[in-house]
Amino acid sequence: MCASPGGWGQGVAVKLQVTFNGIDYDNSSFVFTFFSITRAFPRSGPSDGTGGDIIIEGNGFRNDSGALCKLNNSVYEPTSVSWKQIRCPMPKAASGDLYFGNVDLSVSANGIDWHNFLGGFQYYPQPIVDDIFPKQGPSLGVGIINFYGSGFRNDYNLVDMACKIGDSVGKAVYVSD
């Protein structure tokens, strides 16, 4: 057993060896990777489970490391793992499609050490859009589009309001529920 030293850069892979005399190291070719977790996004999603993956960003993630995701104390296999991302599934809220509230969110890049995200993950009921106005605007992109319906809110810490027009994403502004 050997304690891993700190101070490594983000996502560094190093050769791992052992010695009995402090000089002559074995010839194994095992690789040890130091990983770092920088953020998770989105930090909120629809309680009906229709959101996409929760993306964990960082460095040094490996497919063969046993990465795991934990949401509301339930453990899930990641949907994919790459050097800079672990993609965690966003399941339905255990309390139902209309649940509004926070649950714990954590990830383990190696199946052993857990990184807990402060504030966890925020579930919300998906808003219902009944209409938009206007239904057309200038091609210069200076028009305002209003969304009408129910369930609009911005009263929680992890809200990140946006709108999608075609493939373009813009910042949305809350007006009223």
Q: What is the second-level CATH architecture of the domain 37-124?
A: Sandwich (2.60)
pLDDT of residue 50: 92
Taking only the tens of pLDDT, the chain with its 177 residues reads 888 887 777 778 888 899 999 999 999 888 888 899 999 999 999 999 999 999 999 999 999 989 999 999 999 999 999 999 999 999 999 999 999 999 999 999 999 999 999 999 999 998 999 999 999 988 887 788 999 999 998 887 778 888 988 998 888 999 998
As annotated, the residues of the chain forming the CATH 2.60.40.10 domain(s) are 37-124
Q: Quote the pLDDT of residue 54.
A: 97
Distance CA 157, CA 134 (A): 30
Please give the DSSP secondary-structure letter assigned to residue 65. G
Q: What is the pLDDT of residue 37?
A: 94
Beta bridge partners of 32: 14
Q: How far is 87 from 91, CA to CA, in rounded Å?
A: 13
| Residues whose CB is less than 8 angstroms from the CB of residue 52 and which lie 6 or more positions away in sequence, other chains included | 90
